[in-house]
Amino acid sequence: MKSSFLMVSMIAAAAGVAVTMGDREAIEDKFKSAQNHSQARAEPTARLKQSELAFDQPAVDMQTVADRIQANAPASVLPDAPSAIRTEGDTPAAVAQAAPQPSTPPAAAPPKVDESALRYFASRGDKARLQAEISRLQALYPNWVPPADPLAIPQNSDKQLEAMWQLYSEGRYAELHKAIADRQTAEAGWQPPSDLLDRLAIAEARARLVNASDLKQYATVVDIGAETPSLLTCSDIDVLWRIAEAFIRTDRAARGQDAYVYILKNCTNPPERLATVQKAAALLPYQPMQDILALEKTDGGGGREFDGIRTDLARRFVAMGNDDPKLTVAPNYLTDVETVAQSQGLPSDALLLGWYYLRRQDYGDAEKWFRIAHDKGDSASASQGFALVLIAEGKPQEAETIMYKWRAVSKDATATYLAATANLMALQPLPTLGEDVLGRIATEVMAQKYTPTAQQFGWYARSLNQPQTAARWFETALRWKPDDEPSAYGLAITRDQLNDKQGVAEIQRLWAGRSERIARLGEVKPRAPAALPSPEQTSPQTAAPPSKSLAVPPARADLGVTSGESSPAPTGYSSPKKQASTGQRGARRPRDCSTTISAERLAPAEALSRGWCLMDLNRPMEAIAAFEIALNTPAGKAREDAAYGQSLAYLRAGLTNNAAVAATQAPLSRPRAAELQVAILANRALSAFAAKRYQETLVYLDQRAQLQQERVDLMVLRGYCYLNLKMYDDAERIFTAVAATGNKDGNRGLTDLRLTLHPDHSQ
């Protein structure tokens, strides 16, 4: 049985389809030895090593033997499997010397051919197996002539043997072993045909190989393939695919590539060749795939055999380029994907192209395809890619708007959103941002403890001449990242602007030897307000993960600037400042809360006291954190005080919507609820006016007027709303009433009204 294994391997190798082992010269010597002893049946089979399984073609000097064998084989039959026949330590000379040297049999002696399998397959009408068996016998016995009509071969006269072949064909190998053993027991000296035993051994080896492959035991797959070279044939393409994958999964991609190349050079079934390319593309890198595709054949109709999967291959290769920015994908693949993206309109194709061009900093093409993907089907990936392009192109405001919806779906999405916020706050000239945008940015920055944007909030507030708010943001940034020099410098010049000499000195002490500009601050006094530092000093230009937070994270807070304070007012109008009562304290204030500690370390009662103390020091962001801890107390007066205090802190910080939410955290007394509602409506009116939403401003003012008599400054605001809405009679009535109180804003309003109605009389 084993000798027949070796003979099959040697003759198949001579036929030009062998799997070679080691270097080509050694294999050629081995094949020459096999050619000289083609009828030898007694040579023992060598155990193969994993590293010896390969898929090279035999050398040209074996062509004579290959021609002789193929001349006798049916044209439609594929050559038998490649085989490996050299073990480690074997040399061609040693193998040739060890091989038996039988004398040449007489020419007239016909070969003794075991035709039992042939008869069985013929009796069953199994043409495929019958043809494969004829091919195998021709390879083993070159002088054997197959019957003219194989289907006319009479059935085996041995009914028991017939039953054994039946068990084999049905894959009932355990029952076949038992049947053989039972007959050998019953009939002394009976031996099954060697062909049956060979086939049984191969079938069982195949079953083990498939099982190992399914269990992802790839080293075992290679072992079995090396030990059973008869499995590696075009007639069982699935085994070749599994061997190729096993090589690749065990970090021998070149050997896996050899297997796919072997299939395309020797196997002719079109669907199997197509599937081979698909399987290879799923496992091999870009360049090896180009070598494999070079083996493509024409289909006889003017096309090529892999045209049906050309687009899918192009998509895969472009995706490989997305993963590796150093990989240059051939232009024809990009063209294929662009063509199908335009014709089919799938967002996924546009995304592939967008990411490919973005990875190569081709922002024009990247924006084109990301915009298409975003418009056809908004998704996290489309928005993230689109936002990154917009950031690179200096359009962070659009990037922030697009990315806000997807900011929390992944760490990358969060980093992209935060990068957009930092770049947005660093724009020059300053962008006009509504309270809703400022609020949501600040909320996310506080939640993620993102230093770059916190720092930019500081510069933003300085540009609006709000140094106290700027200082709080710089302090926040430094709590999260103590070594952030731009934030330290911003805090230093802001404290200098506030004439806080002691605070400046403390920063200079902490940064001694680390920042020359901080050290020289007292020598050259900066202009007030100081100019923004350059973008490279203060703002990240690409997405980066959030900075690691310190052990003392501040809770929710927002920029202490509203659109009403930062937007230009109508001529002659001074925007009224928001007012919010600090209310009655629900707890006794501590003596000193100037030092920074974590509110999370405090008991609710202590946190409540600290919150009111921080409000007295005009540090609302820290007060928000303290009141948040105080809200952990059970329902009662203390919880009401915490909700009331947090709402006031949010109002002072300019986060009106958050103030409204905080007011709902606990039942409030009627006076407190009314006070907060009045303040919230006033702030919303200011924000709506700054956004030029004059009708909305009047709605808020009317709602507030139902709760409290309208202040003079808000009457002025109402008058300018009427003026902008061209409700001139109402505007005149309001400005006249304000002027009657002696307020100069009323007279200015009347002047603006006259100029609007009679611009020619401006002189």
For residues 39 and 726, the model is more confident at 726
Is 755 found in the same domain as 689?
A: yes
Are 230 and 83 a contacting pair, CB within 8 Å? yes
- Residue 663 — pLDDT band, cuts 50, 70, 90? confident
DSSP 295: T
Query: Do 749 and 601 belong to one domain?
Result: no
Q: Could you give the CA distance from residue 133 to residue 760 in angstroms, rounded to a whole number?
A: 109
pLDDT per residue as tens digits for the range 70-119: 333 333 323 333 333 233 333 333 333 333 444 444 555 566 677 777 77
Domain that holds residue 650: 584-663
Sign of the Cα pseudo-torsion (151, 152, 153, 155, in order): positive
Final residue before a domain boundary, out of 643, 663, 683: 663
pLDDT of residue 565: 32
Select from 663, 683, 709 the last residue of a domain.
Answer: 663
Q: Inform me whether the pLDDT recorded for 534 exceeds 70.
A: no
Per-residue pLDDT band for 592 (boundaries 50, 70, 90) equals low
Cα dist. 582→585, 593, 645 in Å? 8, 17, 8
The mean per-residue pLDDT over the stretch 732-756 comes to: 88
Same-domain pairing of 590 and 685:
no
Structural domain contains residue 179: no
Report yes or no: 582 and 674 within 8 Å, Cβ to Cβ.
Answer: no
Tokens of 91: 């040399």
CA distance 607 to 356: 52
pTM: 0.52
Region of poorest pLDDT, from 255-264, 449-458, 606-615: 606-615
- For residue 689, what is the domain's CATH number? 1.25.40.10
Quote the CA–CA distance of 494 and 474 in Å, as a whole number.
Answer: 9
Asked if residue 701 and residue 615 are part of one domain, the reply reads no
Q: How do residues 161-198 score in pLDDT, each as one tens digit?
A: 888 888 887 888 889 889 889 888 888 888 888 878 88
Nearest to 54 by CA among 38, 30, 75, 78: 30
Q: Mean pLDDT highest for which of 133-142, 447-456, 665-674?
A: 447-456
- pLDDT for the residue 212: 95
- pLDDT mean across residues, the chain: 75
Q: For the segment 604-613, what is each residue's pLDDT rounded down to a tens digit?
A: 888 888 888 9
- Taking each helix axis from N to C end, the angle separating 237-249 and 218-227, rounded to the nearest 10 degrees, works out to 130
Q: Which two tokens stand for residue 111?
A: 């070969």
Residue 22 lies in a domain: yes
- pLDDT (average), residues 738-757: 87
Facing residues of 298 across strands?
304
649/695 same-domain check? no
Let me know whether 708 and 598 are in one domain: no
Q: Tell me, yes or no, whether 606 and 726 share the same domain.
A: no
pLDDT at 156: 57
pLDDT above 90 covers what percent of the chain? 36
Band of the pLDDT at 716, cuts 50, 70, 90?
A: very high
Residue 552 has pLDDT above 50, yes or no: no
Tell which of 641, 663, 685 closes a domain.
663
Task: Categorize the per-residue pLDDT at 387 as very low, low, confident or very high, splitting at 50, 70 and 90.
Answer: very high
Total structural domains within the chain: 3
Model confidence at 25: pLDDT above 80: no
Q: With 90 as the cut, is the pLDDT of residue 150 above it?
A: no
pLDDT at residue number 338? 94
- Residues 251, 151 share a domain: yes
> What is the percent of the chain with per-residue pLDDT over 70, rounded to a whole number?
74
Taking only the tens place, the pLDDT of each residue in 319-348 is: 999 999 999 999 999 999 999 999 999 999
* pLDDT (0 to 100) of residue 139: 67
Q: What is the pLDDT of residue 256?
A: 94
Q: Taking 70 as the threshold, does the pLDDT of residue 54 lie above it?
A: no
